[in-house]
Amino acid sequence: MNLENIGWNSFFNNSFAPYSQQGYIAGRIAAEHKHIYRVYIEQGELLAAVSGKMRYEASGRRDFPAVGDWVVLNPTGEGKATIQAVLPRQSKFSRQTAGTTVEEQVIAANIDTVFLVAALNNDFNLRRLERYLTLAWESGANPVIILSKADLCNDINQKVLAIENIAPGVPVHVTSSQSGTGITELASHLRKGRTAALLGSSGAGKSTLINHLCGREAQKTAEIRQSDDRGRHTTTYRELIILPGGGLIIDTPGMRELQLWGTCEGLQSFADISLLASQCRFKDCRHEGEPGCAVKAALENGRLDYDRYGNYRKLQKELAYLSRKENRQEYLAEKERWKKIHKQIKNLKKR
């Protein structure tokens, strides 16, 4: 297996150079199964687990390998290895972990393109797509919107126009896995050595799309519920799949709701609102009734949609709250790290 065909480049080569001198090999995480990782290497594949040292030094989930990561491996024989380190990431798509703990979960790493899949049926939701776009821009990869199930929609042009209004400049592809419409156009984003991550809610048609791109049934599919056009989870874990045309794609389980992770920079998908805000009379305008407010004027004359603005404010507040919580978590983690260091020093002095 040529590593360059699965995404290896000079960036990773330079990061790996010190490890290469120690006799380690490089590999790319293809899948994770309960802390056991399937890894692509030059000789094929092997199974690997994180070393005890790496596990001890990890400060959270983001320090562990994610699908798409390049890792440093120490082969132990019989198709197995130990993961010594994760190489620096060029990009990553992250979300906040479920629950009350503020922690980053890396969904996919080292991706060039994020395919955001939205079905053109009753589950079509612009506000959800805005949330996905926010995280996509934050990832460092380029978003591409795929509208699936075109055969189930009677107003395709209206929905495409609605998406172009909230995502100007983002490529939009209308597809139908039933007829094969639009599938071949995706090839331009899947050149040899390029990686795309496929994201969308359950029932959006991600697994069916992958089967078309692979030319075989690589993933299981399931029928959507007739009552609300929502689907059931068929993909149960993230996986890096090598496509016949040379590109790679990371399939992910359906995520109906994404907890944000990142900074307000990801809100560049709301550039129209930022532009309006820059035209307000006062630089610190809160858009809550101040005179000369361009945002309020745009809402009143219909240039700005109330629902879109409401979603923007909601996402803005989420990110601000997350930033405050994360800073507190980092402080506590650093405090705990120094406690461990002082404890180790104390134990050494006793010897």
Distance CA 235, CA 252 (A): 7
Report helix angle 126-139 to 306-350, nearest 10.
Answer: 40
Q: Is 207 annotated as a binding residue?
A: yes
Whether 148 has a binding-site annotation, put simply, is yes
Can you give 152-213 as a three-state secondary structure string?
A: HCCCHHHHHHHHHHHCCCCCEEECECCCCECCHHHHHHCCCCCEEEEECCCCCCHHHHHHHH
Partners of 41 in the beta sheet? Answer: 44
CA-CA-CA-CA dihedral for 9, 14, 15, 19, to nearest 10 = 110
- Residue 62 token pair: 């983001």
Q: Would you call 332 helix, strand, or coil by DSSP?
A: helix
The residue assigned the tokens 């692979």 is: 214
Determine whether the annotation assigns residue 323 to a binding site.
no
Q: What is the dihedral of CA 186, 192, 196, 202, to 10 degrees?
A: 60
Is 98 marked within a binding site? no
Is 77 annotated as ligand-binding? no
Tell whether residue 149 is among the known ligand binding residues.
yes
201 in a known ligand binding site: yes
Contacts of 55 (CB under 8 A, 6+ apart): none
Q: Could you tell me where the DSSP H helices lie in 58-125? A: none
Find out whether 134 is annotated in a ligand binding site. Answer: no
Residue 203 three-state SS: coil
Residues 251, 257, 261, 266, Cα dihedral to 10°: 90
Residue 289 assigned to a binding site = no
Whole-angstrom distance, CA of residue 172 vs CA of residue 31: 28
Per the CB < 8 A criterion, the answer to whether 38 and 30 are in contact is yes
The response to whether 206 counts as a known ligand-binding position is yes
Contact 130, 166 (CB under 8 A): yes
Q: Distance between CA 230 and CA 123 in Å, rounded? A: 6
Question: Binding residue per annotation — 254?
Answer: no
Question: Does 203 appear as a known binding residue?
Answer: yes
The reply, when asked if residue 283 is annotated as ligand binding, is no
Q: Is 262 annotated as a binding residue?
A: no
Residue 307 marked as a ligand binder:
no
Binding-site residues from annotation for Zn(2+): 280, 285, 287, 293
Binding-site residues from annotation: 148-151, 200-208, 280, 285, 287, 293
Binding-site residues from annotation for GTP: 148-151, 200-208
